[in-house]
Amino acid sequence: MNNSPMISLRATTLLLVLAVPLVAALASPRSTSNASPRSTSNAAPRDTALAASRDAGEVRKITSNGGRYVLEVREPEGGFQRGKPLAFDVRVMHAGDPDRALTDVELLVDADMPEHLHGTNRAPRIERAADGSFHVENVYLHMAGWWEVFLDVVEGPWTERAQMRVIIE
């Protein structure tokens, strides 16, 4: 059973991937070519990795994976840290109109550990401020390692994801 061609290949490739240091994975080139309207997703920049030790309150601009939105994330005080509820602020703009915060979209927040196939054990809370920005609380990253923080913008029938890569020490 273990000699299944598919399985053995999968095992080998997985081991290969595991052997590659995380930094290499982070640095791996991601396509940013011009995409047709059918696959706007590739318009997203891939260098959204955040260092946990970044200065508190720094503002980070992220383009959503479908290219429709630009998000400004004011990072948590003290940066993204392990094992404490984190709070940060998010403004959502259309990519074509990056100066005006959208007031008619919803924001959903979640976090995930791709290498561990699980997410966070707490549900984040999101509050909307009068100026249309979102205050996100209770983002709880309990493990050390690679997290993806998902910022899903809901506008009409569409949900489009922006994501931040966060390495927790």
Partner 1 sequence: MAAAAKPHYGLFRRAIPDLVSPEFATFDAEGRLWVTEAHTGQVRAFDGEGQEVARFVLEVKPNVLREPHGIAIAPNGEVFVADAFEQCVIVLNGEGLRLRTIGKRGAGLGDMREPRGLAIGGGKLYVADSGNHRIDVFALDGKFERALGKRGYGDGELLAPNDVAVDADGRVFVADLGNQRIARFGKDGAFGRAWGGIGPFSGLFHAPTGIAVFDGRVFVADRDNHRVQVFDGEGLPDHEWGVHAVRPREGNGKLHYPNAVAIAPKGDVVAVVEGLEGRVQLFGDEGEDASDPPIVDRSASAHYEGGCDAAADLVAMLEPAGPTVSIFDMGHETPVEITRFGRSGTRAGQFLVPADVEFSVDHRSVWVSDPLVHRISEFSLARDPGAVLRFDPYMARFARALDLAAVPGLPAAPWPPEPTALELGADGTFYVADRANARILAFDARMEFVRAFGEPGTGLGRLLEPTAIALDGSGNVYVADARSRKVESFDAQGKPRGAWPIPNGRNGDGRPRGLAAAEGGGFWVTAEDASILVRADGDGIPVATIGKAWTAGLGRLEFFHPEGIARTPDGGLVVVDAGNHRFQVLDAKGGFRTAWGSRLFLTPTFETK
Partner 2 sequence: MNLRWIWASVALVALAIAGCAGRGAREPAAALTEVAGAPTSAAPTSAAPASAAPASATPVERSRTDSAPRERPSAELVAALDAPTITRILRHGPLGDPEADPTNRVANSPAAAHFGQRLFYDPRLSLDSFHSCASCHMPTRAFADGLELPMPAGSSERHVPTVLNVAHQRWFFWDGRSDSLWSQALAVIENPKELGVGRPGLAKLVTRDALYRSEYRAAFGEDPSDAEADVDRTAVNAVKAIAAYETLLQSGDSAFDRFAAALGANDLDTAAEYPAEALRGLLLFDGRANCRSCHPGTNFSDGEFHSIGMFPRGGGKPTDAGRMRGIDKLRADPFRGNGAFSDAPDCDRALEVDSLVQSSEQWGQVRTPSLRNVARTAPYMSQGQLATLREVLEYYSTLDRAIPVGHHGEQVLKPLHFTAQEINDLEAFLRSLDGRDPPAHLVWAPPKPR
Contact residues: partner 1, CB under 8 A: 1-7, 9-10, 13-14, 16-17, 25, 29-31, 33, 35-42, 44, 46, 64-66, 68, 108, 110, 114, 117, 150, 152, 156-161, 163
* CA 91 – CA 81 distance, rounded (Å): 21
- 21 makes contact, choosing from partner 1, partner 2, none, with CB < 5 to 8 Å by partner type, with none
The H or E element containing residue 90 is: strand 85-94
- 83 makes contact, choosing from partner 1, partner 2, none, with CB < 5 to 8 Å by partner type, with partner 2
Does residue 87 belong to the site contacting partner 2 (CB under 8 A)?
no
- Contact residue for partner 2 among 54, 142, 161, 165 (CB under 8 A): 142
* CA 166 – CA 134 distance, rounded (Å): 19
Which residue, 82 or 94, is less far from partner 2 as judged by CB? 82
Does residue 9 belong to the site contacting partner 2 (CB under 8 A)?
no
Nearest to 107 by CA among 80, 130, 81, 134: 134
User: Which structure tokens are listed for 131?
Assistant: 């100026």
* CA 45 – CA 127 distance, rounded (Å): 27
- 152 makes contact, choosing from partner 2, partner 1, none, with CB < 5 to 8 Å by partner type, with partner 1
* CA 1 – CA 109 distance, rounded (Å): 41
